Chains A and B, each alone.
Chain A
Amino acid sequence: MITKDYIITAAEGMHARPATNLVKLTKNYSSLISLKKGERTVKLSSLMNILSLGIKGGETVSIIIDGEDETSAIIAIDAFFEEELKHL
């Protein structure tokens, strides 16, 4: 299992567009991928759940990946947070 924290650098926070792309991205992996903010953990496969966390700019979230392809999944998610969420 891999757990990694990310600070949301995009001012608007986790908006529908990046969240949609994140859901699409996680569909490429068989691992169970979850997103945690504060006390709440949701599956990354549901856009509704991601948006319902109300993630704002400057907040910290954790990604939890568990499964066979977790190492390749974390690389893709790393790249996503590095690139896409920075330049909105």
Chain B
Amino acid sequence: MTINGIGVSPGIAIGKAHLLRKQEAALSGVVLLNEADIAIETDKFNNAVALSVQEVEAMISNYDQSQGNEGLEILETHIELLSDPQISEDVTGKISKEKKNVNDALIEVIADAVQLFKNMDDEYLSARAADVQDIGNRLLRNLSFSAPTHAPHYETDTIIIAEDLTPSDTISMDTTHVVGFATQAGGRTSHAAIIARSRGIPAIVGCGVTLMNIKNGDQLILDGQSGDIIINPAQEIVKQYHVKRENWLKKNHLLRSLKDTPATTPDGINIKLFANIGNANDMEQAISFGAEGSGLLRTELLFMGRDALPGEDEQFEFYKAVALKAKGKPVIVRTLDIGGDKQLPYFNFPTEQNPFLGYRAIRICLDRPDIFITQLKAILRASAFGQLKIMFPMISNIQEVRAAKVILQQAKDELTKAGITFDKNIPVGIMIEIPSAAITADLLAKEVDFFSIGTNDLCQYTLAVDRMNEQIKDLYDPYNPGVLRLIAYVIEQGHKNNVEVGMCGELASDSKATLLLLGMGLTEFSMSATAIPEIKNIIINSLLVAKEIHQRVMEMDSSALITAYLQEITL
């Protein structure tokens, strides 16, 4: 049986289930009779605060720094919450005015505060409800002057199964024995999830009530990437996951050791490794994989799955969120790339014989300047919040670039007139994905600040192969000498004309191609975030033979020879 939740901390854990059930605090309904009672209950509260602060301070002084700073910061926050004047005022107010005992006053104040946070529309802030509950539980426990609870002892290879874990449960978890955990509640930004990631233990949250079908002692496999929990798996599956686990440990080690290392070749050239992203959350994840920016923000997501075009303000918020998450790192925003295989329910596309050769991307935008200028204004406004660049897709000739720039200028003029700030020198670039654009890269270079090679479409158009067609998928081959020559030419013309050249197609994340592309002189690779560590590893260890590889490949006349050669040298 398999249960699926939200994988929040990648890795594979294999072990035995240990169920944690928490005790709910109950209201007593006691009514205080006189001032003396009120004084006693207020004292109890102040004592509980003092004891709780001492406990957390002890956790701070025993904190193992090798587990990352996240836990420490959370504990500091808990100290502030425990001694928070507002909580104190609310609790003592309930005691003195509503004549409630400290137990009931505290339960009610914490419940209100938890609800307040849960209702916030911000995912991060609503997850802070768990912190408030956590300090509330600690205070309640300390009301009864019971001895502080010690972290329980677990058998080796324990997987904790719980309705929810408080941040302090997670911080004090004994990871020499606990290899992973899964909870019924929780989200990606809960502190339990953050701690799990920083401590490197696989974790799954938000599994729902079915999680409680798991019994103590069940054998479990927990995949913190996919969010799958397999209960009492067959021996075969356990074996497969042991192999998966080994691989993951190796890869994770690589990822962690390389995250903050710049991607510099042995001969000292800095290579920019960017991520292809679809929204602000992707940007955040990309940075955690070591991305130095985004070479492709697909804006289609914003236009898909809805009934009408998004307005300027809504688009602005979307681009602004990405710019803020990028924290000053560059983000290349690709203007609307719909049509082809990407349809919109509210936009009437003509039925076409050849949608990939039809009305799509920049062709639509130039035909419908109303849609285009709305998007451009939104991007420009967001450029005040980060380092954004604008990129036009599906350019086939220089006139299209000029026409798009005229509309961009119009968008700038309108914003200037309205007194809205934006980056006046926002860089403008184009996708190189149509062969005519690649072949005229020298001409196009005069009009733009950067090129980004889209290898997927470039390959499909150069080879006249529909990449969705199963029958001819073998012909779809980015290692075709014709495609490689076009790529090399674009990079060369970029260098000659001082135009930055990047690549955002799949070839950029193909480890077989990395040295070849470096040899061609490519200095910016944009790919899915998870591919960055592997590509970075190749770049850092790349030999000066990259140029030589380029020479050799150019002499070859078939993709079979080329891929065999590249395979051989990457081994």
Contact yes or no, B320 A16, CB < 8 A: no
| CB-defined A-B contacts under 8 Å, sample of 30 | A10-B324, A11-B280, A11-B321, A12-B124, A13-B125, A16-B73, A16-B74, A16-B128, A16-B131, A20-B73, A20-B77, A20-B80, A43-B85, A46-B85, A46-B86, A46-B87, A48-B86, A48-B87, A48-B132, A49-B86, A51-B117, A51-B125, A52-B113, A54-B120, A54-B121, A54-B125, A57-B321, A58-B320, A87-B327, A88-B327
Which of B77, B121, B385 is close to A47, meaning CB atoms less than 8 Å apart? B77
B77 partner residues in chain A, CB cutoff 8 A: 16-17, 19-20, 47
Contact yes or no, B325 A11, CB < 8 A: yes
Contact yes or no, A51 B124, CB < 8 A: no
- Verify if A15 is at the interface (C-beta below 8 Å from B): yes
Contact yes or no, B80 A23, CB < 8 A: yes
State the CA gap A57–B325 with chains docked (Å): 9
- Verify if B76 is at the interface (C-beta below 8 Å from A): yes
Contact yes or no, A47 B120, CB < 8 A: no
Given A16-B77, A17-B73, A57-B324: A52 and B116 within 8 A (CB)? yes
Contact yes or no, B122 A48, CB < 8 A: no
State the CA gap A48–B120 with chains docked (Å): 13
- Verify if A56 is at the interface (C-beta below 8 Å from B): yes
Contact yes or no, B122 A54, CB < 8 A: yes
A42 to chain B, nearest CB (A): 8
State the CA gap A87–B327 with chains docked (Å): 8
A19 partner residues in chain B, CB cutoff 8 A: 77
A-B contact count (CB 8 A): 64
Interface residues of A, count at CB 8 A: 26
Contact yes or no, A48 B124, CB < 8 A: no
State the CA gap A10–B328 with chains docked (Å): 10
Contact yes or no, B117 A52, CB < 8 A: yes
Given A12-B124, A13-B122, A13-B124: A45 and B324 within 8 A (CB)? no
State the CA gap A35–B31 with chains docked (Å): 36
B321 partner residues in chain A, CB cutoff 8 A: 11, 57
- Verify if A4 is at the interface (C-beta below 8 Å from B): no
Contact yes or no, A47 B84, CB < 8 A: yes
State the CA gap A59–B349 with chains docked (Å): 39
- Verify if B59 is at the interface (C-beta below 8 Å from A): no
B84 partner residues in chain A, CB cutoff 8 A: 46-48
State the CA gap A86–B103 with chains docked (Å): 41
Given A15-B124, A20-B80, A57-B324: A45 and B85 within 8 A (CB)? yes
B325 partner residues in chain A, CB cutoff 8 A: 11
B125 partner residues in chain A, CB cutoff 8 A: 13, 51, 54
A10 partner residues in chain B, CB cutoff 8 A: 324
B86 partner residues in chain A, CB cutoff 8 A: 43, 46, 48-49
State the CA gap A49–B86 with chains docked (Å): 7
Residues 78-116 of B, flagged 1 when their CB comes within 8 A of A and 0 if not, give: 001100111100000000000000000000000001001
State the CA gap A12–B189 with chains docked (Å): 11
A49 partner residues in chain B, CB cutoff 8 A: 86
> Which B118-158 residues have a C-beta within 8 angstroms of A?
120-122, 124-125, 128, 131-132
> Which A3-32 residues have a C-beta within 8 angstroms of B?
9-13, 15-17, 19-20, 23-24
Q: A16-B74, A45-B85 are in contact. List 14 more A-B contacts (CB 8 A).
A: A9-B385, A11-B321, A11-B324, A11-B327, A12-B124, A20-B80, A43-B86, A46-B86, A46-B87, A48-B84, A48-B86, A51-B128, A52-B113, A56-B122
- Name the CB-closest residue of A to B283: A11
- Name the CB-closest residue of B to A7: B385
A13 partner residues in chain B, CB cutoff 8 A: 122, 124-125
Residues 33-52 of B, flagged 1 when their CB comes within 8 A of A and 0 if not, give: 00000000000000000000
Contact yes or no, B76 A20, CB < 8 A: yes
